[in-house]
Amino acid sequence: MSPTSDTIDSILLPTDGSDGALAGARHGVDLAATADATVHVLSVIETPDIEGLTSVLESDGEEQRAALEADAESAVESVATMVRDRNPDLEVTTATERGTPFRVIDRYVDANGIDAVAMGTKGRTGVRRVVLGSVTENVLRTVGVPVLVVPPAASDSRLTEATVENVLLPTDGSDGAAAAVDWGITIATAFDAMVHAIYSVDTSRFPSRMDPGELVAELERPGKEALQAVRERGREHGLSLTGTVATGPPARVILDYADDNEIDLIAMGTHGRSGFERHFLGSVTETVVRNAELPVLCVPMSDE
C-alpha cells in the first residue's frame, strides 16, 4: 500500500472544461493512483451567470440556462472519462452545483471529507463559462486541505515514481512551513524522490550599515535549525535529502533553485511567519504559485 494512503483517501478535481482544468485533473489522477484514493469531479455553474439571464426573454433565458448546465455536465464527464481511461481501478464520483465557484468548492471539501484538491491555474473566460482561473487563488485562501496547483507549463508532465525524482521543501521554521514539510515528506516517500530543503536568508530587509558577514551568520542560525528539523523527518522515512541555506528574496530563491536543480514538485505552506489567518495566503507562496512552471502543493495550517 502506498505511503500516502493514510493521508489522502479522496481527491477533488474541480473543472470548467478548460485545458487548464484538465491539466490539474491529470496530475490529481496521478496523485490519486499513487495514494489509491477515490476521485471526486466537480463542475460549478457560476450563479451570477444564471441570474444575469433574467433580463433576457424567458425563452432565451431557459436556453442559456440549459446550455450552461450542459457545459458543466460535459466538463465533468470529460474529466471522469479521463480518470477511468488513465486508471480504471479508481472510484469516481461526479457532481455539478450552482454558486460562487470557490465557495462551492470549499463547501464540497468540508461536506465530503476531501483530503486534497488538484486544479490548474488557467480557466475559461467569456459568457459561457464555469470559472476556474482566478478561482484557484480564492480556493487557496479558503479551503482547509492541501491544493495541488498545476500551471500550463506543467500540463504535459506526470506525477509518477518514474517522473518525480526531486521534491523541493522551502522552510522558514514556522508552523506553516512544518505542516508543508510533513506533506512534502509524505509525497516524496510515495514517489521515492529525493528531498531538497531550502531556507532563504533575505538580507534586503536589514540596514546596509550592518556588517554583512555578521548579519548573514546571525540570520543563517535559524535556517540551519529549520533544515535540521527537515533532515530528521526525512531520515525517519529513509529519504535522501539535501539542505541549503540561500541568500535573497525567498520567492526568487525558491524559483531559481527549482529551475537549477530539476525539481519536479514544490510543497510549501500557505502561511509563514507573516500571518496565520486561514484566509491569508502569504506573499512568498503567492509569488511562487504565480510564477512556477511546475506543480506546487500548497499546504494550509490546520485550525489548531
pLDDT value at position 178? 87
Kindly list the domain boundaries of the chain, sorted by start residue.
Answer: 10-154, 166-299
pLDDT value at position 283? 79
pTM: 0.85
Rounded to an integer, the average pLDDT of 41-57 is: 67
The verdict on domain 166-299 having CATH code 3.30.420.40 is no
pLDDT band per the 50, 70, 90 thresholds, residue 204: low
| Cell triple for 229 | 528539523
CATH of domain 10-154: 3.40.50.620
Rounded to an integer, the average pLDDT of 106-126 is: 85
Q: Higher model confidence: residue 275 or residue 64?
A: 64
pLDDT value at position 57? 47
pLDDT band per the 50, 70, 90 thresholds, residue 66: confident
Among 86, 100, 87, residue whose Cα is nearest residue 14: 100
Same topology for domains 10-154 and 166-299, yes or no? yes
15-31 pLDDT, tens digit per residue, is: 999 888 999 999 999 99
